[in-house]
Amino acid sequence: MLRLAGARLLDERDYPSIRAALAEDPVGSCMVSARVEAAGVDPLRLGGELWTPDGRGARSGALRGLCFVGPNMIPLRGDASAMRSFADRAARRPRSCSSIVGPATQVHRLWEELAGSWGTPRELRPEQPLLALDAPPEGQIDHRVRRVESYELDRYYPAAVAMFTEEVGVDPRLGDGGVSYRARVAELIAAGRAFARFEGGEVVFKAEIGAMSATVGQIQGVWVRPDRRGMGMGAAGTAAVVSRLVNGLGRTASLYVNSFNTPALAAYRKIGFTRVGEFATVLF
């Protein structure tokens, strides 16, 4: 069994305990649940590792903590000592994740432990309401919002870049000229999880289902072209995606949003979303 100070790498023998832990918070764990359901626990297939605090002898019963470490570091559950154990293990390797994201309490505790090793982050978003809706959306639905087809990638991609740059504060084309980001966008389109309203061949509204587990779909990348904002297009467009998730796919719709984004919060309340938790994000 592979061990390092502070945390244990989970493997297929831990699968029942992992699934039980994820099921306790299906909305909050959607990003990780989607990966585990599709790929299992093996790091090569999963695209990351799952850790638990060390010290549990038997591979049965409830996990004391759970953390996914891949493109993002996602501490899903655990007390302060669990976060210290995850930080111990993470600090022994160069940082490779682009963010720490997840339930706010765990993210803040983990970052307190890692700050001395990983330095100053580019941005800290300490309060991001986690919202969910498991019923048909309220209010107007924009029926011109539809799935993006693969042949429309070139028309959709500029809007995706604009959204990412505005939301994250970094141009996703930096480094490799956009090869990786374009591939990710193409993957979402091919999976039928990118939605847009086109006018004159250009995107005026877009959103994606970034992660989808057996019970929850997490909406991301909601964007309205700047000259069309303030007209209700964001609420009606998001409602169309919610309808697709709830009515078409039988999932609970979820998303998280910065607490200072009052227009978005008002739009999501109008649709019928309610707050079910709180996320936080550390961006590098």
pLDDT score of 6: 73
**Residue 64 corresponds to which tokens in the numbers above?**
């004391």
Give the start-to-end residue ranges of the domains of the chain.
3-120, 146-277
pLDDT for position 5: 52
d(CA 218, CA 26): 11
**Strand ranges in the chain using DSSP code E only, listed in sequence order:** 3-4, 7-9, 49-53, 66-69, 73-77, 99-103, 123-133, 146-147, 194-199, 202-212, 216-224, 252-256, 274-283
Q: What residues in the chain have per-residue pLDDT under 50?
A: 1-4, 57-58
Kindly report each contact of residues 164-168 with a partner whose C-beta sits within 8 Å and lies 24 or more positions away, as own/partner: 164/221, 166/223, 167/221, 167/223, 168/283
Class for domain 146-277, per CATH? alpha beta
CATH fold for domain 3-120: Aminopeptidase (3.40.630)
Q: Is the fold of 3-120 the same as that of 146-277? A: yes
pLDDT one-digit tens code per residue, 240-275: 999 999 999 999 999 999 999 999 999 999 999 999
Predicted confidence at residue 118, as pLDDT, reads 94
The pLDDT of residue 79: 96
pLDDT at position 2, please?
Answer: 43
pLDDT at residue number 1: 38
Q: Please tell me the predicted confidence (pLDDT) of residue 163.
A: 97
Strand partners, 220: 208
Secondary structure (DSSP) of 33-56: HHHHHHH-S-HHHHTSEEEEETT-
Q: pLDDT digit string (tens) for 30-57?
A: 999 999 999 999 999 999 999 999 755 4
